[in-house]
Chain A
């Protein structure tokens, strides 16, 4: 039974992917959508093969569906669905990694100051109407905030769980205050954009955002997946040294990876809370703490959860509900239920 559920959750992103592609204001039959996605994939692959072997493309596989179908699926829904999935994976995975290496159940990647840094970057871009756009600035300040937090937390060459949380609180407070100052000085329309951005949304997803975010997040997920067993050892803290693990170096590598994938997520879709905290906890409560299973499941469940939440966000009402609000409202009752039932899967 547990084995079956494990496999089901592992492949759940495939189902979530097609469910989300089907749902939207414009109705299309499922068969048409599956057909189109398969044909499009073949078209791209054959195109690449043709280019490699012949140096040019003489033919293309035809997709026998109306162009309005194709526009909606390939230009609007597909990039959004893909972005939601990779962001879900990135946020959930970062939470799982940081909870293990800092041995603290309350940690997610926002504790590193990422959310506050990104928020300030976004507010700055909106407030000054910078032509650069929100994303680069949000990303830059997210990384700056992580750098500040980890430098502050490093005492005597190492970062302890307590010093990290305290440094994170300091950096978060600093950037929040700066953001508030900007908001206070801003015109009303701009203020509305900032507030909306802070609630998180995939409404602006396009192929450009996927092209930038996907390689970063994919690489991060692969690296963490390969190194996942080290998280078991690192969660023993200092004791990891006596089985031969260079704890400080390894922690540093994990912090870099989680910072990059979180910043790449936040820069495109704003602050989406709770996923990084909730998904790893849920998976741990259901399947136990061994990171050999926890990491792959966190990646897939994060992706499925986020894309389904986003589907609801854009289809539940005539207007779009900010996804950050929805992830919390949807996730929290389930999280609370699991907490009562399993006692948390931690040793308090």
Chain B
């Protein structure tokens, strides 16, 4: 279980204040909010890539930030927004890098490690790309490879930074579907950041609405995705339609 207890951070005149939530095993919590609201900052603070003001992150009751990078990597996987490395490594080479925390500094991965990486590629349906240069993949495939790299760490906690950025409609649904499935099957506590309230509503167990570094509302999608809260967070008029039990969030625009 991941617990975040009053996380605060400041950098320049931007600050994150008093972020609290917990994510149980198999649950997905989505940090939802407009650009620049501090979603990614919160995610980086949880992992400790940015330093919060005091200890505030606990995994299974353990103070996460007191652990070394190596020990942290064994407990938690982080899926960053994809960017290209300088060399065209193969997909398998990239995925096997997730095992760095389990290898000594003088060790290179052996057959068993490549097998493990291959298993995770199979799990997300990417094994046929194993020998392809990572740099020639499409955005959706890249995202899946980065998820596979986090999975070989066999994490209890998975943090995903905008897993749907730059993806088309099909790939958004595919990637989030896989995240949802993995969280359940592997009993992972997942935290992700998203822009789109509809995707958040479909794939999250809990949503934290973030505005200006603060959580404005936290709860199950049906409880908190309400017109007045969303209007306050996004600053645009919004209407919500109910259809077959789904809630569709739409901006109220004047279409000419």
Contact with B along A219-250 (1 / 0, CB 8 A): 00000001111101101111111111110001
Q: Which of B34-80 contact A (CB under 8 A)?
A: 47, 49, 68-74, 77-78, 80
How many residue pairs, one in A and one in B, have C-beta atoms under 8 Å apart? 85
Q: Say if the beta carbon of A15 comes within 8 Å of chain B.
A: no
Footprint of A on B, CB under 8 Å?
A: 47, 49, 68-74, 77-78, 80, 84-90, 93, 97-101, 103, 105-109, 135, 149, 153
Bound-complex Cα distance A236 to B107 (A): 18
Query: Which of chain B's residues has its CB closest to A229's CB?
Result: B108
Q: What residues of chain B lie closer than 8 Å to A241, measured between beta carbons?
A: 49, 69
Do the beta carbons of A243 and B149 come within 8 Å of each other? yes
Footprint of B on A, CB under 8 Å?
A: 100, 103-105, 226-230, 232-233, 235-246, 250, 284, 288-290, 292, 345-347
Q: What residues of chain A lie closer than 8 Å to B86, measured between beta carbons?
A: 103-105, 235, 346-347
Cross-chain pairs A/B with CB under 8 angstroms, 29 sampled? A103-B85, A104-B86, A228-B108, A229-B107, A229-B108, A232-B93, A233-B97, A233-B100, A235-B85, A235-B87, A238-B49, A242-B73, A243-B73, A243-B97, A243-B98, A243-B101, A243-B149, A243-B153, A244-B69, A244-B74, A244-B153, A245-B101, A250-B105, A284-B87, A288-B90, A289-B87, A289-B88, A347-B84, A347-B85
Q: What residues of chain A lie closer than 8 Å to B90, measured between beta carbons?
A: 288, 290
Do the beta carbons of A347 and B100 come within 8 Å of each other? no
With A232-B93, A235-B85, A289-B89 as contacts: A244 and B100 at CB distance below 8 Å: yes
Bound-complex Cα distance A292 to B78 (A): 25
Nearest-Cβ distance from residue B205 to partner chain A, whole angstroms: 24
Q: What residues of chain B lie closer than 8 Å to A246, measured between beta carbons?
A: 68-70
Interface centre among B49, B69, B80 (most CB of A within 10 A): B69
A-B interface, 6 closest residue pairs, ranked by CB to CB distance from nearest:
A244-B73, A244-B101, A289-B87, A229-B108, A242-B78, A226-B106
Nearest-Cβ distance from residue A92 to partner chain B, whole angstroms: 17
Select one of B78, B88, B100, B106 contacting A245, CB under 8 A.
Answer: B100
